[in-house]
Structure 1
Amino acid sequence: MFNYVCYMMKKLLVFLFLILVIAVFALQFQPVKQTVAAVITKPTYLNKGGATIKERVKVPNNYKRVVYDSTSFQYYIRHQNLKNYGAKVINYDGEPYFYQLGHLGVLDIDVPSNGLQQCADALIRLRSEYLWETNQKSKIGFEFTSGHYCSWNKYAEGYRPKVNGNKVTFHKTASSNHSKINFYNYLNLIYTYSGTMSLNNELKEITSIKDLKIGDMLIVGGFPGHVIMIADIVENEAGERRFLLIQGNTPAQSIHLLKNLDDTSISPWYKLQLNSEISVPGFTFTNSKFVRFIDE
């Protein structure tokens, strides 16, 4: 009798052990299956062969790109040429930036070796190049951090600033020169005396997400501050919007199209909100503020 009881107990233990093994296997298998499925079905908005911002990033389902006139600043930014996919972000000294995981495109724009074209300056460069190429040179002008306005027209006529602390006066000390080379000399001057603080103080603030356009900028003015630019916008029938972002940085480096590392499910698209925390590769805006270049 005792042997029979022992025999039955062993069979019961073996049975319970088998049930436990099956249960553990089932619990482990299901998440793995779900994870694999999620990786396989996760949408990608990347087109590696895309040669412009518009071509490099696909539109999410049920969204459409906001339409802009072909002569507009918005169209100009959306159609910026990109280097081949995989291009590295390069510092002004020709060396690769230490962090290469935050971008999926590099704009085909040179980085001057003088190191002046940092975050705000890169976006000033884009704006100025657009105005130059569309024969709107009279609109090229920016405030110094001191608040003094410096226009390309006056610079081209030979006027140069004399800076004494926060006091700036302009004097004609050079001959007239309206060349493209001198235009870049002008921009170097702007890079030296302008920055996030001057843009923050000078430019028009946008107070509604629905009013944002390509070319508008997310900014925090300071020393240091930071600023990035909206490079594309899509919208669905419910009015919900998604945004692409580009930035230069410090040290002076390639302007690049950003990934969304906080929400990889929609990367590189971003959801943007006013007065909220917005993180981009390398920087966090703790209280978002958006500004727009004048005349846009």
Structure 2
Amino acid sequence: MKKILLVILALVVVGAFAYQFKSVKKSVEIISSAIKTPDLVNKDSLTIKSRVNIPLGFKRVEYNTGSFQEYLRNYELKPFGSKIINYDDSQYFWQSGHVGVLEIPVPNNGLQQCADALIRVRSEYLWDNNRKVEIGFNFTSGHYCSWLKYAEGYRPKIDGNKVSFHKTAAKDHSKTNFYKYLNLIYTYSGTLSLYNELPKINDVSKLQIGDMLIKGGIPGHIAIICDEIVNETGDKLFLLFQGNTPAQSVHLVKNLEDSTISPWYKLEKDAVIPVSNYTFYDSKFVRFK
């Protein structure tokens, strides 16, 4: 009888241990899953830098205060959950590819598409930092159009691929006229002109905030690096934001291919890189001058 009781007691102990081990195993699985797919999005923040947390083992690459890189990294965002809105005030049909919407107005003229949105961001940075002399872009035809010449009253006369500039307007250096100039650039510039005009980045180890992932073409597409982190072995991850066609809210994109680091991206040259609702099949990079 005593022997039977000892056997029963042993079975109870083994069963209890097995149950506890099962619970511990389940807890380990949950913790492991959380580690593998951390939530890197801070929903209460209102800048790119504060909206996205850094994966374990990485740190942000430092840039000088007042630089274009810091300007992009600290760009203001609308509250989390804000929708992507088209130029005509309708909602974009797909709302699952972004983690933030930038505080950039969308003109109702429909001109501010993917390349145009980045042209605007760059131009506003130069304007705000008293570097207006640097504001200028090539038309797709290759002709350069500067803000200062436009402000002095020079306007393009366009005949096919022939472009000439003539003084036909009064001087006007106002911010209102500046946005009229940008509308002109939006009309005659795009991903193709940016790709042909801007310096190429062939070594991805040299990529930095402000560089752009680009498919130059008609149509083409473009997205800009807006944050950068690095680990001890030199591996880098990046955040991207983009405008789109039709003209719509500029938005900080998710990484839909790798949820373990999303919205951070690993970027490679000549690679297939899906970015939200567009895929770059032969990735190239350019940098503003």
| Common fold: TM-score over 0.5 | yes
For the pair 1:116 / 2:111, whether they are aligned, the reply is: yes
1:271 matched residue in structure 2: 266
Name the TM-score, length of structure 2 as normaliser.
0.89
Cα shift readout 1:266-285 (whole Å, capped 9, x = no counterpart):
10000111111111111111
Q: Shift of residue 207 of structure 1?
A: 1.1
Per the alignment, in what secondary structure is the counterpart of residue 204 of structure 1?
Answer: coil
What is the rounded CA distance, in whole Å, between the counterparts of 1:94 and 1:74 in structure 2?
A: 30
What is the rounded CA distance, in whole Å, between the counterparts of 1:287 and 1:35 in structure 2?
A: 38
2:243 alignment partner AA? G
Between stretches 44-53 and 171-180, larger displacement belongs to 44-53
Q: Shift of residue 158 of structure 1?
A: 0.2
Q: Shift of residue 184 of structure 1?
A: 0.1
1:99 matched residue in structure 2: 94
Cα shift readout 1:8-43 (whole Å, capped 9, x = no counterpart):
xxxxxxxxxxxxxxxxxxxxxxx9988755554431
Structure 1 unaligned spans of 5+: 1-30
2:128 matched residue in structure 1: 133
Cα shift readout 1:53-101 (whole Å, capped 9, x = no counterpart):
0000001111110000111100000000000000001100111100000
Structure 2 unaligned spans of 5+: 1-24
Of 139, 144, 162, 2:139 maps to 144
Shift of the 238–40 alpha-carbon distance from structure 1 to 2, 3 Å rule, reads closer
2:254 matched residue in structure 1: 259
Spell out the pairing of 1:181-260 with structure 2 (5 A cutoff). 181-260=176-255
For the pair 1:161 / 2:156, whether they are aligned, the reply is: yes
Q: Which has the larger radius of gyration?
A: 1
Per the alignment, in what secondary structure is the counterpart of residue 239 of structure 2?
Answer: strand
Please list every run of at least 4 consecutive aligned residues from structure 1 whose deviation after the TM superposition is greater than 3 angstroms.
31-41
1:244 alignment partner AA? L
Spell out the pairing of 1:165-184 with structure 2 (5 A cutoff). 165-184=160-179
What is the rounded CA distance, in whole Å, between the counterparts of 1:148 and 1:174 in structure 2?
A: 20
Per the alignment, in what secondary structure is the counterpart of residue 238 of structure 2?
Answer: strand
2:72 matched residue in structure 1: 77
2:15 matched residue in structure 1: none
2:18 matched residue in structure 1: none
What is the rounded CA distance, in whole Å, between the counterparts of 2:211 and 2:160 in structure 1?
A: 31
Taking only the aligned residue pairs, the percentage that are identical comes to: 61
What is the rounded CA distance, in whole Å, between the counterparts of 2:245 and 2:180 in structure 1?
A: 20
1:100 alignment partner AA? Q
Q: How many residues align?
A: 266
2:56 matched residue in structure 1: 61
2:156 alignment partner AA? P
2:250 alignment partner AA? I
Name the TM-score, length of structure 1 as normaliser.
0.87
Q: Shift of residue 246 of structure 1?
A: 0.2
What is the rounded CA distance, in whole Å, between the counterparts of 2:29 and 2:275 in structure 1?
A: 26
Cα shift readout 1:215-268 (whole Å, capped 9, x = no counterpart):
100001111000000010000110000000000000000110000000111100
Shift of the 34–278 alpha-carbon distance from structure 1 to 2, 3 Å rule, reads farther
What is the rounded CA distance, in whole Å, between the counterparts of 1:40 and 1:235 in structure 2?
A: 22
Q: CA RMSD in A?
A: 1.7
